[in-house]
Structure 1
Amino acid sequence: MAHEVREQWATRAGFLLAAIGSAIGLGNIWRFPYIAYDSGGGAFLVPYLVALLTAGIPLLILEYTLGNKYRGSPPIAFLRMSRPTQVLGWWQLAICFVIATYYAVIIAWAVRFTGFSFQQQWGDDPEAFLMGDFLQRAEEPGLMPDYVAGVFWPLVAVWVVTLGVLALGVRRGIERANKIFIPLLVVLFVILVGRALTLPGAVSGLDALFSPDWSAIADGTVWVAAYGQIFFSLSIGFGIMITYASYLRRRTDLTGSALVAGFANSSFELLAGIGVFATLGFMAFTAGIALDEVATDGIGLAFVAFPEIISNMPAGSLFGVLFFGALVVAGLSSLISIVQVVIAGVRDRTGMGRVPAVLCVGGATALASVVLFPTTNGLYLLDAADRFINQYGIALAGLIVVVVVSWVLRKLPALQHHADASSAVRLGWWWRLALGVITPIVLGWMMWDSLRTELAENYEGYPTWFLLVAGWGVAIGAIVVGVILSLLPWKRGGDNGTTSGAATDEKSKASN
């Protein structure tokens, strides 16, 4: 079978926009501001910057280099590096499948809330509207949930757009979409932040966010929070950057690209923090209460606090459209990158064409999403799956990859040589120290701390049977699926280049 020429980005700028689009997602907007506020305010920026330089950017460089050197999605890239490690690539593929199924649902909510903003349909009680009228959430997780049409149809629309972009390919689909999405997202957010800064009470909100509590720097949990935020906000640990970098030309400035993407992502997080806390300051001011009574994160911030603020704001409808429109755009650029990993992995291993792969693999992901999540159980399922696949999927996979590459296979010198060959900024001893020592220690501590909390009490008080299915079951299931897929006797169509990848590696070692 003739080996299909691998797709490539049209320009490095196109790759960077796609990488930045993947990194900038819902977590930047609704997670970072609260983590910073809760972890020492302005003082949090010190551990945050340290985490970016000692873990975030080194990990980005590692993933870019793995993808660029071995020319494949995670399963093929790891297979070409060392055959037994392909299980790590399939595990990352399974993680992406799980995340894509529920991530799309939150985008669908944001689509509906963009529409709700025009008439402020949530009324006087946004929380009751969200949980009752809109999501129709059951009182507790159950076995026989009902379907919720108001979530189902926008979710179908989200999947149609996502799979349509992916069917067009890397250049005509992903690259072009991000050339629209990222400038649009920046414009939406700059207007939103500009409006927020003119609101009464905005300054007190910014004071609360940025006033430094220097004693927090001595608190270990603050440092763990900083590393956790960097890790989860940069789209590292689940194969996206390996996949995207595999479409780069061989001689590309990998280190410079990682620096640009890392700092662009952090800049957007700071912009989001300013916008969110200026708005929360207005809410506290109009309600006559302390800011810590309104400061929150996640779904509560986006779909409860912000609708309440919008209702009390002059020209609130426009603000609502801007905010929820930004959530939709940020979410779509990330979802496209997550699903691309799954599609690329199957294509690389089977030699399947792009459109058939999008229809089969992307279609299966979309089907799982629309069957499981637009139900009265959907929010419970989403919450548990997100918690466990993040902690015991992304973070655990990231830890094992770093340990295997740096300690077991000792590939860091060869990978450094590959990155240095075409990068303006050369990697020094700090890169190997960051990946070989600092990152494993921090990720290992995060894992231990999280596991200790998990075993002490049920997450969110959910029933044990439910967590075993929707939490532990999902996280362990991703590992099992990864192992099974790595053992399957795949057609060798997608295995072309395994020897060339290995030969390249041997050549690198010989030249060191």
Structure 2
Amino acid sequence: MTTSPAGRGGTAAPARRETFSSRRLFILSAIGSAVGLGNIWRFPYVAYENGGGAFLIPYLVALLCAGIPLLFLDYSVGHRFRGSAPLSYRRLHRAAEPIGWWQVLICFIIAVYYAAIIAWAAMYAWFSITKAWGDDANAFFNSYLQTADTAGVSFDFVSGVFFPMLAVWIVTIVIMVAGVNKGISRANAVILPLLVVMFVILVVQSLFLEGAMEGLNAFFTPNWASLQDASVWAAAFGHVFFSLSVAFGIMVTYSSYLKRKTDLTGSGMVVAFANSGFEILAGIGVFAALGFMAVASGSAVDEVASGGIGLAFVAFPTIVSEAPFGAVLGVLFFGSLVFAGLTSLISILEVIVAAFQDKLGWSRKGATLVVTIPIALISLVLFPTTTGLYLLDTSDAFVNQFGILACALVTVIVVSAGLTSLPRLQRHLNKTSSLKLGSWWRILVGGIVPVALGYMLITEVQAKSAEQYSGYPAWFNGVFGWGMAAALIVGAVLLSLIPWSEKSRLKDPEYDEFDTAAKLEGDVDNNLKEVK
């Protein structure tokens, strides 16, 4: 009596795709991906600069009209076609495969430099204990990084950055090798609650600082006139778009690990509003602290407010130096950056690992090691150097912002207009979801979203073409900015030309599952006959 899954003369069925053991673990992982460094150091300043309290109106509109609909689109593609970004788009249509590889390569660039920021944050959590930066946090930051005077490529290593980065990569690779359930799920189940608890304590401590109300007034006081400015609305759409991790391939990959009967839209709403809630919490905590800094220095809040790296590694250390229990404040803040960064880095790497695992038929551990170790080596060669900050800044501006906008625009145009796939994806979302989608979802994804993305992309191109980015040399921006963004497109096409492994099923998984079930039924019948 044969016991082969495929029957006599057949080929063995491919291994079952790993899945999240529960919807809760998927939600935690998705929130962990969405809640990253930008929630903490970008949203508060973007909101403050674009109308304060009034910014919440375009922010909410952008969330409902673009962010959540795009999140549903990613969920539908990944869950319907059961694969990594390249495999899911390949199953959608043969010509769409390069879109998936474009997203994979974007994640590759982000992963290479993201570990550096996590390492900086880890070191600053330690520095907070002794307030090592002294009286000049800006000078200390440049001294810590040993930043070169001009942008370029140098291999002068900075040991204070190299070894923390090495530790970040070791921890991350261990988590990735363990797999979706034993690694990613468990890591997010521990790290995300810790992040929330730490940040809540940070916010509470900030609210009791002298001058906290000054900061909150500056953050929430609405400038209603700003709502007439198109750039404010573009800023809202841009921030929501990047904040939710849509069009990165992350949510496509994560949703492919969901069980068949999962509430997709309900899960998406939880992820979206949890992410937004954390951003509001971050705004409260950061501006309460900035209000203290303004009062302590005798300045206005707008004179001390900043975003991004300036907020994290210059403004906040200054606050830590002056605030009561500043060491605790610093450890909580930079510890939160480390945890938020780790959960995001894990999700970014998963996009790449899953893609090569599907394409080449590698095992989970094999694919993880072959993918993550070279990325770690490239990261450790380029970024713990005296020019690492310049490389990071340029890569982030052209790939993480400009490149993703272009990829997202192409994706929604191809899926909605080119392949007219939205009705099919809508039906899939509505099969098991609690929130049923109507034609309004197709209108938003196929109409509103491309217009918003197109406007932002044109604005980005004009801004970066008008002058050399950050005053860096033209060759530097040409190679690591424009050149890198263009190279990803070429690389995506080339990767799509590599033949798929025989282990990869390129058929629509719904029909594939039907065929497999039919074969299994046939085997059972044959086995019963042999027994008789």
TM range, normalised to the smaller chain? over 0.9
2:52 pairs, out of 38, 41, 44, with 41
CA shift at 1:395, angstroms? Answer: 1.3
Distance in 2 separating the partners of 1:17 and 1:499: 29
Amino acid at match of 1:419: L
Measured after TM superposition, the shift of residue 491 of structure 1 is 2.3
Cα distance in structure 1, aligned partners of 2:346 and 2:390: 24
> Which structure 2 residues correspond to residues 323-342 of structure 1 after superposition, within 5 A?
323-342=333-352
Aligned to 2:278: 268
- Shift of residue 390, structure 1, vs aligned partner: 2.1
Segments of 5+ residues of structure 2 without an aligned counterpart are: 1-11, 515-532
Could you say which residue in structure 2 is the equivalent of 1:283? Answer: 293
Q: Which amino acid aligns with 2:26?
A: F
1:498 corresponds to which residue?
Answer: 507
Matches of 1:268 and 1:17 in 2, distance apart?
A: 13
Contact 1:403 1:440 in 2 (8 A): yes
- Say whether 1:412 aligns with 2:422: yes
Amino acid at match of 1:178: N
Q: Deviations over 1:303-328 (max 9, x none)?
A: 00000000001110011000000000
Matched, 1:74 2:85: yes
Partner of 1:509: none
- The 3-state SS of whatever aligns with 2:432 is coil
Q: Check if 1:363 corresponds to 2:376.
A: no
From 105, 111, 114, the equivalent of 1:100 is 111
Structure 1 counterpart SS, 2:272? helix
Residue 172 of structure 2 is aligned to residue 162 of structure 1: yes
TM-score, structure 2 as length reference: 0.93
| Deviation >2 Å, runs of 4+ | 142-145, 489-492, 497-505
C-alpha distance in 2, partners of 1:498/1:238?
24
| Gap regions ≥5 residues in structure 1 | 506-512
**Equivalent residue in structure 1 for 2:35, among 24, 37, 41:** 24
Alignment of 1:136-285 (within 5 A): 136-285=146-295
Structure 1 residues 373 and 336: alpha-carbon distance in aligned structure 2, compared to 1, 3 A threshold = same
1:6 and 2:17 are equivalent in the alignment? yes
In the TM superposition, residue 503 of structure 1 has moved relative to its aligned partner by 6.7
State the Cα distance separating 1:504 from its structure 2 match. Answer: 8.5
Q: State the distance in 2 between where 1:49 and 1:107 align.
A: 29
Task: Give the deviation of 1:500 after TM superposition.
Answer: 3.3
Q: Distance in 2 between matches of 1:336 and 1:497?
A: 26
User: Is 1:458 matched with 2:468?
Assistant: yes
- Secondary structure of residue in 2 paired with 1:227: helix
CA distance in 2, matches of 1:144, 1:285: 41
Q: Conserved in 1, the CA contact under 8 Å of 2:124 and 2:334?
A: yes
Q: Distance in 1 between matches of 2:137 and 2:214?
A: 24
1:27–1:233 contact (8 Å) kept in structure 2: yes
Matched residue, 2:3? none
Counterpart secondary structure, 1:121 = coil
Q: Which has the larger radius of gyration?
A: 2
Give, in whole Å, the separation in 1 of the partners of 2:36 and 2:484.
22
Contact 1:81 1:502 in 2 (8 A): no
Letter of the 2:23 partner, please give it. Answer: R
State the shift of 1:167 in Å: 0.6
- Partner Cα separation in structure 1 for residue 192 and residue 509 of structure 2: 36
1-structure distance, mates of 2:510, 2:109: 29
C-alpha contact (below 8 Å) 1:79/1:498 kept by paired residues: no
d(CA) in 1 for partners of 2:293, 2:425: 50
Distance 1:72 1:362 in 2: 19
Identity of aligned residues (%): 54
Conserved 8 A contact 1:10-1:171: yes
CA distance in 1, matches of 2:191, 2:320: 24
**C-alpha deviations, 1:28-51, integer Å up to 9, x for none?**
000000000000000000000000
**TM-score normalised by L of structure 1:** 0.97
Q: In 1, distance between residues paired with 2:512 and 2:450?
A: 29
Cα distance in 2 for residues equivalent to 1:497 and 1:140: 49
Deviation string 1:358-416 (CA, Å, 9 cap, x unpaired) is 11101111111111111000000000000000233211111111111111101111000
Alignment equivalent of 1:127, drawn from 129, 135, 138: 138
Corresponding letter in the other structure for 2:444: A
- 1:83 aligned residue (78, 94, 99): 94
Using the alignment, how far apart are the partners of 1:248 and 1:276 within structure 2? 35
RMSD: 1.2
The letter of the residue matching 1:305 is A
In the other structure, the counterpart of 2:455 is 445
Q: 1:80 touches 1:499 (CA, 8 Å); kept in 2?
A: yes
After TM superposition, list the pairs within 5 Å mapping 1:347-496 onto structure 2: 347-493=357-503, 495-496=504-505
Q: Deviations over 1:4-40 (max 9, x none)?
A: 1100101100000000000000000000000000000
2:198/2:332 contact within 8 Å kept: yes
Query: Could you say if the C-alpha distance between residues 408 and 504 of structure 1 is closer, same or farther in structure 2, counting changes exceeding 3 Å?
Result: farther
Residue 406 of structure 1 aligns to which amino acid in structure 2?
A: S
**3-state DSSP class of the match of 1:404?**
helix
| Distance in 2, Cα, partners of 1:368 & 1:204 | 44
SS of alignment partner, residue 133 of structure 2: coil
Counterpart of 2:282 in structure 1: which amino acid? A
The answer for the alignment partner of 1:510 in structure 2 is: none
- The Cα of 1:502 is off from its aligned counterpart by 6.6
CA contact (8 A) 2:417 2:446 kept: yes
Partners of 2:229 and 2:299 lie apart in 1 by: 28
